Amino acid sequence: MVDNRYATALVIACVLSVLATVYLSVAVGTQHWYQYTSPTVRGEANASELRALYEEFMDGEFDEKTYSDTLFRLNGTVGLWWRCVLVPGGAGWYKEPGLKLVLECRSFTLPQQFTPKYKEPGNHNSGEDMLRTYLWRCQFLLPLASLGLVVLAALTGCCACLCRSLTPTLGIGVLHLLAGLCTLATVCCYLAGMDLLHRVSMLPERVDGSLGWSLYLALISSPLHMMAAALLVWAARSHSQNYYRMTAYRVA
């Protein structure tokens, strides 16, 4: 029979784990990790240039410099799997200042996620930037590893419930701890990668960048997983100690 304290700890840990997993899943599937604020379109020449950038962004070949410049100039947002820009919904980009803006997105395909980054974006002769390349790959792989660990923990927990045993609880707690660390590492890799990108690709004048809500969701999910891990480890260790005490008492 499970003590009420352990049962309460397990229920709270499950709630924290579900919240963390939902937050991380939403963060991975949305594009608001980093967002740019660009000046409004001014004049026909500026509108033509921006339209050309937009068409290259939507239909051109994948190139880091091309899509980065477009994100800088068209109020772009970029996440782990998506890159989006805000463009006018009508044909006249500069003739109608009050025109409603529409969000247009392109996804990063799996081969694009593994495309190497260069020391000078767009210049393939400048040499591969190993640090940025592996930071990008880590920010893409680590959240998948985190979600995989949580799924494994959930399957283990279901088996433990069917067997009516608290023995696997310690392992489930360790899996949650690893998931939290993977999520935290994802955020760190993403921030480091964006900082390095801005060092090699200077932002245009009057363009500002800021962190988006998707990144904050991922950041919140990390301590939630760690708190769930702490409760699970505590419940497992305390139950084990009480069990051995009761066994020793009965033997005595």
Domains of the chain and CATH, by start: 4-251 (1.20.140.150)
CB 34, CB 215: distance < 8 Å: yes
**Residue 203 contacts by C-beta under 8 Å, 6 or more apart in sequence?**
36, 72, 209
Per-residue pLDDT of the chain (252 residues; tens, 9 = 90+): 445 677 788 889 889 999 999 999 999 999 899 999 887 766 555 677 778 888 888 887 888 888 888 888 888 899 999 888 888 766 555 555 566 778 888 888 888 888 888 888 877 888 888 999 999 999 989 999 999 999 999 998 888 777 776 677 888 899 999 999 999 999 999 999 999 988 888 888 888 889 999 999 999 999 999 999 998 888 877 755 554 444 544 444
Residues β-bridged to residue 107: 82
> What is the C-alpha to C-alpha distance for residues 60 and 54, in angstroms, rounded to an integer?
9
> What is the C-alpha to C-alpha distance for residues 140 and 142, in angstroms, rounded to an integer?
6
Q: Tell me the two tokens of residue 146.
A: 């985190």
Task: Report H helices in the chain.
Answer: 4-29, 43-59, 64-73, 110-113, 130-163, 169-200, 213-251
> What is the C-alpha to C-alpha distance for residues 124 and 175, in angstroms, rounded to an integer?
40
For 185-222, b/e burial (b = at least 16 CB within 10 A) is bbbebbbebbebbeebbeeeeebebebbebbebbbebb
Look-up of token digits 């998948």: 144
